[in-house]
Amino acid sequence: MNPVATPFFFYLLAGIMIIGGILVITRKNAVHSALALITTLLAQAAIYLMLYAPFVAGVQIILYAGGIMVLFLFVIMLINIERTQKERQFNKQWLVGIAAAAALGGLFIAVYTKGKTLFPEGRVSYEEVQNTQGVATLLFDRHAGVYMFAFEIASLLLLVAIIGAVVMAKKRI
């Protein structure tokens, strides 16, 4: 099997993602932002494919690009765009912004410099054919399934978001 994970593709996709990300926050029109975000998510799916994780890539396209972003667009289209375009785009929270950026940047630098000691040496890699089974084993298997708890906790987070949305939308519960 010839590897498709050449640096060229990585830089191409990473470039698309970064440009998309910048467009998301700089466009005044919310629909344009959402479309830029879709581009970013699709490029991310391609990066998963490059890492021989086709299942994750497929789920990324179905859930994010196909499902969640459609709902985003659905909501944005109901908003009065003319009014939002006149509103201030950035709310000048420089201090918090710098602190958050520094923290994230520090994390990246730490991973880049000390990554070899922070993460286990041997990368778990499946043949492309067994990738989906590999994901299932790590999630559901009686012995090897170590990520079940983390997975369920993450879904609890979504439940909290749903309850929050209901509380905010309904005046009387």
DSSP H stretches of helix in the chain:
7-26, 30-50, 54-60, 69-78, 81-86, 94-118, 131-140, 148-169
Nearer to another protein, 129 or 167 (CB): 129
Interaction of residue 67 with another protein, rule CB under 8 A: yes
Q: Which stretch binds another protein (CB under 8 A): 6-14, 69-77, 111-119, 152-160?
A: 69-77
Residue 96 identity: V
Residue 69 within binding range of another protein, rule CB under 8 A: yes
Q: Is 125 in the site for another protein (CB under 8 A)?
A: no
Q: How far is the CB of 82 from another protein (least distance, A)?
A: 11
Q: Compute the residue count for the chain.
A: 173
The nearest distance, CB 97 to another protein, in angstroms, is 30
Helix axes 7-26, 30-50, angle to 10 degrees: 160
Give the separation between CA 27 and CA 35, rounded to whole angstroms: 10
Q: By the 8 A CB rule, do 23 and 32 touch?
A: yes
Binding mask 9-48 for another protein (x = CB under 8 A): --------------------x-xx--x--x----------
Alpha-carbon 173 to chain mean position: 32
Q: Binding residues for another protein, per CB under 8 A?
A: 2, 29, 31-32, 35, 38, 54-55, 57-59, 61-62, 65-67, 69-71, 73-74, 77-78, 128-129, 131-133
